[in-house]
Amino acid sequence: MIEVMPASHMDTASLAVSADAASPALPVHWRLATKLAFRCCFLYFILYVFSTQMLAGLLHTWNWGAPNYGARPPVSTAVMWIIRYVFRDNRTLAMVGGSGDKMYDWVLTLCLLVSAALLATVWSVFDRRREHYTRLHRAFRLFLRFALGSTLIGRR
């Protein structure tokens, strides 16, 4: 038999918990390390997509392909300077074509990583009071899905 309790015996704390469970969760406060990692990853992958062939796959049309910004000045000038003066390699290097396993591509990746870390540091200084990047994180994941998917589909 089901017993019905009078309203005076109801626990108001359990009602508050059940009401909170039904409401949408508020964004949590991100830790400093999480915010730094997100900023760095966000900037690195944005720079990577815009400086490699992934942009052409993302914006592919029949009449126009997006330029490879990683092989154009000022990016190519900076990468070649680092190859010549930091790594002390004076060979003539191939900048485009191939599998992406060239010295130019590896140094470009290093430059993008260092640039992303520096920009993330500047971003962190100017935006240190923000608690989270929930909306930007959702949009960034969508952007990455389209970039990766278009690259995979374009590789036939």
18 confidence band (pLDDT: 50, 70, 90): very low
pLDDT tens-digit map of 87-132: 998 887 766 666 667 888 889 999 999 999 999 999 999 988 888 8
Domain ranges in the chain? Answer: 30-154
d(CA 117, CA 31): 18
Q: Which two tokens stand for residue 62?
A: 């029949």
Tell me the pTM.
0.73
DSSP 12-43: HHHHHHHHHHHSPPPPPPPPHHHHHHHHHHHH
Which band of pLDDT confidence, cut at 50, 70 and 90, is reported for residue 29?
confident
Whether the link from the prior residue into 74 is cis, omega within 30° of 0, is yes
